[in-house]
């Protein structure tokens, strides 16, 4: 059963700017947990605080509840980006010779469906150090 497709977006009716975006991911091929969703809330695009609060209290809360019932993790793309960037700095600072094109990194993220921290392994594409200079 599929309640939400691979991509889902809520936009402002007047401006057409995105308020909320969600994308389905699947990392089962990399030994991961399988299906999960990443989301981004564009707070700067909400027309006012009341609309943002209503979306957070009704829309986003409903999405979290559905994901929880279905057992599908829900992660923030902003938090994911921060954790991945920190891991890459760790890798680059360790003196490891970046000769691979992809590194699997494990990060800890808030699963908004369960409101618990969860580990996620994702692949990060890189250029060899010689191509970065």
Q: Which tens digits make up the pLDDT trace of 86-122?
A: 988 887 777 766 666 677 888 999 999 999 999 888 8
Per-residue pLDDT tens over the stretch 18-40: 999 999 987 765 555 578 899 99
pTM here?
A: 0.80
Backbone dihedral region for residue 58 (phi beyond 0: left; psi -120 to 50: alpha; all else: beta)? alpha
Burial of 36 (0-12, 13-18, 19+ CB in 10 A): buried
**SS3 for 2-34, per residue?**
CCCCCEEEEECCCCCCEEEEEEEEECHHHCCCC
As given in the structure block, the two tokens for residue 71 are 């057992």
Per-residue pLDDT tens over the stretch 58-68: 999 999 999 99
């Amino acid at each position: 059963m599929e309640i939400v497709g691979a991509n889902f977006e809520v936009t402002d009716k007047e401006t057409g700017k995105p308020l909320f975006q969600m994308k389905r991911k699947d990392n089962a091929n990399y030994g991961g947990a399988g299906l999960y969703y990443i989301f981004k809330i564009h707070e700067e695009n909400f027309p006012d605080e009341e609309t943002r609060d209503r979306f957070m209290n009704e829309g986003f809360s409903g999405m979290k509840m559905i994901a929880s019932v279905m057992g599908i993790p829900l992660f923030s793309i902003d938090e994911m980006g921060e954790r991945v960037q920190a891991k890459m700095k760790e890798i680059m600072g360790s003196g490891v010779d970046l000769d691979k094109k992809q590194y699997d990194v494990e990060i800890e993220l808030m699963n908004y469906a369960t409101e618990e921290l969860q580990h996620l392994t994702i692949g990060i594409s890189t250029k060899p150090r010689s191509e970065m200079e």
